[in-house]
Structure 1
C-alpha cells in the first residue's frame, strides 16, 4: 500500500523547493499528486504536521477526496490547523492515542489602510467557511458549533476527536507515535523566502573563471551554501 507522508509544513509547490533545500520536512500538493498518479490501490496518509497553507491543504484534500481507491488517514502525532483539514479527506481516519488535533480560524500577516484590512478580514471569513465545509462533511456537527470551536482554538485528544466525529478509530497497532506539544510547525516568512530564492539562483550560476586578477583579489571568501542557509535562518545574512 502506498504511504503518503504529511509531515512538517503544508506548503505550496513553489515554497516546497525551499523547505526541501533547507532539509525541512514539508508536504505539497505536487508530492501528493505524484504519489497518487503512480498508485491505483488503497493509500495510507500519515500525518504529523502543525499545518501551513490553507490553499495547499485544500488542494491536497480535494485530490484525496477524488481518489478512486480507499484513503486511510493515520494521525501519528499532531494534526493541527491546515493538516487537520487534510485529515478529513480520509475514508477511514485513525488517530494514535498519544496524538492531538487542533482546529482554529485562518490567519494571515497583513498591512495597509482600512479598505485593505476590511478586504483581508472578508477573505479570512471565506477561508474559515471553506475549512468548516471539510469538518462538517466528516463530523456532521453544525456550522455555528464548528466556527465556535475554531474561534476557541480547540485542542482535542484522540478520545475527544473520536467523540466529536473527527476520527473513526483510536489506533492501537504498530504505528509509531510522537509526543507533541507545539502549536504549529514553523513556517518561513516571505522575507526569508525571498532571500533563499536569491541564494538558490546564485548557486545555479556557473562558477567564475579563475584569472590572475580575481585570484589576487582581497576580501572575505564566498560562504558555503551551508553557511548561507544558517545565516538566513539566524537572520545574519545582512551583516
Structure 2
C-alpha cells in the first residue's frame, strides 16, 4: 500500500514497490483502486508523486496513469530511484517529471507467461503487440518522441539515465546531487594536509598561500583542528569536527586526509 502525506500546501503520494498486487511482499503493492480513491480525496491540492518502482501489472499501470491524468490539481512526478516498465508511463502522466541525477527510467515491450495451443499463443502475441502500441502512444504523446522511435526503444529495452531521459523528452528536470561538507577548517590547519578540497576551508575557497600552523598550547595535536564558520549545505550541519590521528591524518566528517610529508 502506498504512503500518503497530506500536510501543508502540497500532498505527497509514494509509489514505492510493485504496480498492482505483489504476491511475495503484499505490503509493497500499489493497487489502482486504492490510488484512484486517494487522489479523488486529495484533489485539487498540488500533488507530488514520488516513484521508486520496477513496474508490475500493465492494466493496473494504465488505471493509475488515468487517475493522474484526470487529477484536477498540479502533479509533479519525482523519480527517486527507478521508474521502469509500467512505472515509466505512470511517471509521464504527471504535469512535470523530475529525476534525481542517479535515477533511471526504463521502457520495454510488455511480456507475460502463457500456455496453450498454437492458436492461443498467437492470440496472446497479438494482444501483447496491441499493449505495446498503447504504451508507445502514451510515451510519444507525453515526451514528443515519434511513435516509431518509442517502439524501437521499447523493443531494445532502453534504460535512460536522468540526463538521457531529459534529452529524450521523458524528463523535465534533473536534480543534481550536492556535495556534502561535514566541517570547515582554518587555512592554517588545512595547509598541513594533502588534497583538501576548497569546500572545507572556513572561507569557502583555497587560500593563495599556505599559512604557518600555530603550535598547540600544551603540545597536543588535537587542539589544532577546529570547526570554524558556517557549515554550509551539509547533512551533518555543524555537529561534526575534524580529528587528528597521531599527526598523520585528519578526519573531516566522512573524509580522511593524510598529512603532508616534509
TM-score range, shorter chain: 0.5 to 0.7
Matched, 1:144 2:148: yes
| Map of 1:121 onto structure 2 | 125
Aligned residues: 168
Higher share in helix: 1
What CA deviation, in whole Å up to 9, does each residue of 1:149-208 have, x standing for no partner? 00000001000000000010002489xxxxxxxxxxxxxxxxxxxxxxxxxxxxxxxxxx
SS in 1 for 2:54: strand
| Map of 1:237 onto structure 2 | none
- Between the aligned partners of 1:131 and 1:45, the Cα distance in structure 2 is 20
Unaligned 5+ segments in structure 2 are: 1-9, 179-262
What CA deviation, in whole Å up to 9, does each residue of 1:48-96 have, x standing for no partner? 0000000000000011001110111000001000000101111010000
Matched, 1:54 2:38: no
The runs of at least 4 consecutive aligned structure 1 residues that moved more than 6 Å come to none
- Between the aligned partners of 1:168 and 1:142, the Cα distance in structure 2 is 18
- Between the aligned partners of 1:116 and 1:23, the Cα distance in structure 2 is 31
- Between the aligned partners of 2:49 and 2:146, the Cα distance in structure 1 is 27
Unaligned 5+ segments in structure 1 are: 175-239
Larger Rg: 2
Contact 1:5 1:27 in 2 (8 A): no
Higher share in strand: 2
User: TM-score if structure 2 supplies the norm length?
Assistant: 0.61
Matched, 1:158 2:168: no
Provide the aligned C-alpha RMSD in A.
1.6
* Higher RCO, 1 vs 2 (CA within 8 Å, ≥6 residues apart): 1
Matched, 1:7 2:16: yes
